Each structure stands twice: as C-alpha cells, then as structure tokens.
Structure 1
C-alpha cells in the first residue's frame, strides 16, 4: 500500500472516529495520526498535504459592491420616495426631485458602508491565523509557511508565536496561551499535557492549543490534530459564512409598519389629489405636486 492510499485510509478513519483529542493521552493522538514525537518525513507530509489540503480558511463568498449597493433600495418606503422623485422630475421641478433623490442616495450609501464594515469584520478572522510555523520534519525543526501543516506534524511553540493549527500538546514548559479570541478569557491559560474530560469546554482543555491563539510565555510542543476548516477557528468561520440572515422582531415590526405607512400615505395622497382636482377644481399639476409633497413629508427618511 503506497503513502497516498494509507493517507486516504487515515482520513476516513479520522472522519469516522472524530476522537476528542483532549480526552485521550498524547500517545493515543500519535497512534491515531500515525505519527511520533520525531515528526513526519518530508515525503509523508507532502502526501498528506495532497489529502487534507492546505492549512487555510476559505474566504467568504462576498457579494459584489454593486449588488450590496442596489440591495439598499429594496424597501417599500424607498419605492415611494423614488416614485415621488420621478413625478416631480416629470413635472420639471428639478430642485424638489434632486432633494428627494439625494435623501434616497444618502440613505443607501449609509447602509452600504455599514454592511461593508460588517463583511470586513467577518473576513478579519482569516487574518488571525499564523503565517509561519516551526515544524519537525525528518527529525529536524524547520520554519515553514503555516499553510503547509498537516495532521501529524509536530510543532514547536515559543513565547510570541501564534498557534498555527489545533495541537494536542505532549510537551509543556511553563506554557501560557492567550485564548481570548475563542473563550473571552482575559488572562492567559496555563497549559499542560494531561488529558481532561471529554465534555470539557474549550477553556478547560488545558492540553490543547488552538489555531490563532497567542503564546504569551514558555515553550511547548504539540502534534497537529486539525488544520484549516477543521480547527476551532475554522468552525467559527464556517458558521459565520453559513448562518442565514436573521430578521429580528424589531426589524419585522419595522417592515410591517413601513408597509402600512406606505399604504396609508398612498391613500391620503390619492384622496388629497382627487379632492383638490374634482371638488375644488385646482390645476392638475399643482395637486399632483401637493400629493407628492404630502407623500414625501409623511415618510421618515431614516426608517428605511
């Protein structure tokens, strides 16, 4: 059986077992990953890289800037304002139509900028990963791009390093790691090599070092148990990408209110127009402009 075939079997076994690495001794992790404290050979690591893929997070599927901008106009109140602006434009009232379209454009720009900042915050997760790692290959520690790490690699951690992948620690010397990005804990966590309960939460898994966290003191060594999307930070990134757009009760109520308000404004504006033209005999153009002014005045421009 060649190396690629053996690695395929390993990937299938790991996917089926999904061992809680923190609940088993480090020796068990080495056995499961078919590795050892001396690390992997260069040939074995290259073969595993083809199987597991690079140690990186997939970028989010960003909507184009044009799509995000046009989405800001998808609101019933905006439709009313755009219709009012179009009517005033057709009547030749350039200043009035310019003011209406200006309000709509400013509202859309504000929403576009806010949504862009939210997407930038999600993409910032990818920047939390380490760019380099000290890895033992063929029995010697070398520095490699973190993207080349594979399960079974042995990684050296030192003060100031970012953890490049999820590791099961098997050596620790006064090792402390800042895990605030995952747990919110303000103080660095003292790490050791002892197994903990399978039900332990992330903050209590003292024998684990998680990708993207920062080594603040001491040294340690660990075997890579997860890379890329399989790491804890990778799962968070995946959840953020896949979570559906939720509508809060407040937004639902605002949407319903906007529809009722638009209908009420339309009825009142139409009634005013008909009353002025039919009953009072006012000119058609003046009453049309009055109806538009009433519609625009009745819409709170900040609500959309």
Structure 2
C-alpha cells in the first residue's frame, strides 16, 4: 500500500459551506475568510457560486466577493456555474476554474435540477466548451456517488455512466462526492474504481460529508487507492439543501491533522487554519464543527 506523500486540499467552505446558512453573511466576511484560508496555506479555494439569487440568496454577492479578494500567486480560485448565464457572469470575474455538476442518481437529478442526468450534462456541454476556450479549467462535481436521499444506494455503474458523460463534454477532473455522507470505505472505493474507468487518479478528487461520522475513514480509503486531491470545508461548514439531515463536509482541520499525523504533506499551517474556522464560526454564532479545532482551542485556553 503506497500512500501519496502529498495531498492537495480544496477548501469549499466559502461556497459549499456558506450557501445554506440562513443568516446573511456579508461579502466582507466571505472575503476575509478566503484571505485567512490562503494565509493558512490553502492553494485551492472554491469561492462562490454564480446561481440565481432567487435560489441561493447567500451567493447573490458573487461578483463583489470575487472582486474583493486580494489574489495570491499560486492560489487557484474556483466558482460554481450552473448554466450559460452563470458562466457569462462568472467569466467577468476571472476565476481560474469553473465547476459544473451532475448527480449519479436520476431521482436526485430530477429533484435538484428538474432533468435527467443525460439532459443535465447536455446543458453543461456548451458551458464547458466556453470555459475551455476562455482558458479556464473545468471541474465536474459528481454528487450522490454512493447514496441518494431518494433512491438509496447508488451503483458503481451509475457513477461510471456519469463520469463517462463528464469526460465526453471535456471536463478535466471530477469530484467523487458522498453528498449525504452515507458512504463507508468499501463503497467509496467502488465509486472511485468506477470513476477510474474514465479519469486517472490524479484527476479524481474525494469529497466526503460526515453525516454518519465516516468521512475520515473514507478519506483514508481513497488515499489507499492513491487519490491525492480532496475537498473539505473549514470548520465543517455546510450541508445539502436537498438532503435532509446531511451535515457539513468533513472539516479541513480534521483532514489536515490526520494527514500530518500520517507524514503526508499539505503545505497548510494547522494553527492558522483553526483560526480561520474560529473566525467564521464566531461570525455565525457557533463553535467550529471540527473535533481538531475544538481540541486545539481548548488546549490554547489551558
């Protein structure tokens, strides 16, 4: 078993993490969060989403946030673009990467975006081409790769089908997402195996939610397959509006602590990362949803 010597983390807290917050988070706070994440050594940050403010009011300040970031050399800033209109708005803010998405579950696709998997990918094809032509990278988020709130278990064949469609339209790398956090290590490995039929391991990213406390175990299972790109969310922010009871992404602090303890490099300063999580959690009026952050903050007070 050869584990990667280095892991690349994408923090999705500013976008995936904050989009479901009921209270409005001002652009200045989002910008400060991005600044704190890059100061902690994050070199990939998912900043915002160019969706209709009618559906996701929290992201209505997308252009303002992108304009307010003091960009650091060597940091990749990505944004979610659900359609051509979103892409055109995003393009003006010059992200390095856009993210398109599809579900490995037909039921989730219908409930989430009112169309089949195939139709959703067809809609994204012109967006992907426009981004590639504009010199932007394209990532594809594959949601519900192990379980769906409506369908239950999702088969590896469904994951392979979605990965193949994403590859066909020009997506360069994909996220294998356990959107509702029901995955266990073997199930996650099967979803990754299915994806490996279309993307090599360097272009596959693990994205695990911690609803049932399995996210770190699933991260380890992916590492054992050679996966070295992962997404996590500072302070464990987030959830999924279409998946009842789904908690946030695995917290960045917990992943970094585990990786460093395994001798795997991340380039991230854990103390500064904890500070970033405390900053946003304080604003939201709650404690960070991270075991590591809780332990470190308690230790500091001691």
| Fold shared by both chains (TM-score > 0.5) | no
Higher helix share: 1
